[in-house]
Amino acid sequence: MNKFEPGMTTQGRESVENFRARRRAFRALHEAGCFVIPNPWDVGSARYLQQLGFPALATTSAGFAFSQGMPDSEGALMCERNLAYIADIAGAVDVPVNADFASGYGASPQDVADNVTRCIAAGVAGLSIEDATGDPSSPLYELPLAVERVRAAREAINQSRADVLLTARAECFLVGHHDALRESVRRLQAFAEAGADVLFAPGPHDPTGIKALVDAVRPKPINVLVVRDSGLSVADIAALGVRRISVGGALALAAWTGFTRAAQKLKSEGSFAGFASLVSYADINGFFVTDYGTRQSDRRRSAGA
């Protein structure tokens, strides 16, 4: 059995039905309206985001990599380690989880297909595949190969018979392409034809750029990445026709911001001012006391059934 098969860490048929239900719910979220899918970097942050009521979560390669003392790159955060993290998040919550699966951890379509099959077995409701090569001299896969990689991921999902949503990402803005919007549109349209369910070109924060991407792939849904305060609200972005809003590593960076500033002030000034206005230990520990008790009760109930 695959190392990341969800049935190994949950309860047989009940587990299979649970993941099927999550996948149906995730697909339904993309059919109308707009929702925010935040990105936890560990089990604790995932449990807290679920408790707040977000309908789905997504992993963050950056947030997880930083927590492991590594840079955000496929060369550092290897496939096996990312799969273990994805499986941990999917197994820790009851809502659908979308996997940030980088570039699929392989250049060839077959490698992408093989790794997508493993990612599906981790219990995800969706996953994303990027078209970035990681090579600064040639940062994007040529479009024909990029399309074949998306098509291979689509076929792997179809063969699994798991209703997993495929997100295809055009990384043009992030790699500094000279005509990023035009090239993103060209690539996203080709990825849609190759079988992607959701399209994603991280970069634009302005209404004009976002709306251009929405219109280019309509009626398929667009994911927009928000990693800074651009002045737009969730309602503003939803009004542009966006279906899904993710925040990437921004929540992890928010945590790192508080930590680094407090630590630097402690070292450079001998000051504890960085500890002002902290959320209380009682609040956080109290949340986990309640959450842990609920999980233990659920496990006992499941075992008794």
- The secondary structure of 207-245 as a DSSP string is HHHHHHHHHHHTTS-EEEE--S--S--HHHHHHTT--EE
pLDDT at residue 227 in the model: 97
CA dist., res. 126 & res. 116, Å (int): 10
Coil, helix or strand at residue 246: strand
- Token couple for 289: 């006391």
Per-residue pLDDT of the chain (305 residues; tens, 9 = 90+): 344 444 444 345 668 889 999 999 999 999 999 999 999 999 999 999 999 999 999 999 999 999 999 999 998 999 999 999 999 999 999 999 999 999 999 999 999 999 999 999 999 999 999 999 999 999 999 999 999 999 999 999 999 999 999 999 999 999 999 999 999 999 999 999 999 999 999 999 999 999 999 999 999 999 999 999 999 999 999 999 999 999 999 999 999 999 999 999 999 999 999 999 999 999 999 999 999 999 999 888 878 76
CA dist., res. 180 & res. 172, Å (int): 5
pLDDT at residue 2 in the model: 40
pLDDT at residue 160 in the model: 97
pLDDT at residue 4 in the model: 44
pLDDT at residue 16 in the model: 85
SS3 of the chain: helix, strand, coil, percent, to 5: 55, 10, 35
The whole-model pTM stands at 0.94
CA dist., res. 27 & res. 212, Å (int): 23
User: How far is CA 119 from each of CA 41, 190, 240, 273, rounded to the nearest angstrom?
Assistant: 17, 23, 32, 43
User: How far is CA 269 from each of CA 83, 264, 265, 273, rounded to the nearest angstrom?
Assistant: 41, 8, 5, 10
CA dist., res. 188 & res. 277, Å (int): 44
Coil, helix or strand at residue 155: helix
Query: Which residues lie below 8 Å from residue 103, measured CB to CB, with a gap of 6+?
Result: 74, 112, 129, 130, 131, 132, 133, 134
Please check whether residue 24 is in contact with residue 163, taking contact to mean a CB–CB distance below 8 angstroms: yes
pLDDT at residue 305 in the model: 66
